[in-house]
């Protein structure tokens, strides 16, 4: 009889392994992905180092320069903010070209 190989509990789901078999596979997968992003270190918009960490819901702090700022709940720069910054950059570029 061939031996079956078992993976460690929570290996696939990561941090969502604490939920066990509850809530469904996709919900646990989304939670694990969200927690992985929020717990990672991010780039500081002021000093440009990889040292920003999440302090609370939407509150981000750079460990190097001490810059505290508001951002998204799970990531400091949301997709909506990226769109807004792109529009601002385009507006500045157009204003700079006009005499």
Q: Is the pTM of this model over 0.95?
A: no
Q: Does CATH number 3.30.70.20 belong to domain 41-99?
A: no
Task: Please write the tens of the pLDDT for every residue from 39-90.
Answer: 999 999 999 999 999 999 999 999 999 999 999 999 999 989 899 989 999 9
The residue ranges of every structural domain in the chain are: 11-40, 41-99
21 marked among binding-site residues? no
Pick the residue with more confidence: 7 or 74? Answer: 74
How far is Cα 68 from Cα 54, in angstroms, rounded to an integer? Answer: 10
Q: What is the pLDDT of residue 3?
A: 60
- Known binder of ligand: residue 44? yes
Residue 15's pLDDT is what? 86
Q: Which residue has the higher pLDDT, 21 or 50?
A: 50
Q: How many CA atoms lie within 13 A of 60 on its CB side?
A: 25
pLDDT classification of 20: cutoffs 50, 70, 90: confident
pLDDT at 59: 95
Instruction: Please check the confidence at residue 6 and state whether its pLDDT lies above 70.
Output: no
- E strands within 15-66? 52-56, 59-62
Per-residue pLDDT, 7: 60
Beta-strand relationship, 68-70 and 52-56:
unpaired
């Amino acid at each position: 009889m061939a031996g079956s190989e078992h993976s460690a509990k929570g290996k696939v789901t990561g941090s969502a392994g604490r939920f066990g078999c509850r809530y469904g596979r996709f919900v646990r997968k989304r939670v694990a992905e969200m927690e992985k992003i929020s717990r990672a270190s991010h780039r500081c918009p002021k000093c440009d180092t990889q040292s920003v960490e999440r302090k609370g819901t939407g509150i981000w702090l750079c460990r190097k320069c001490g810059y505290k700022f508001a951002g998204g709940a799970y990531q400091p720069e949301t997709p909506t903010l990226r769109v807004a910054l792109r529009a601002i950059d385009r507006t500045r570029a157009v204003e700079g070209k006009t005499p």
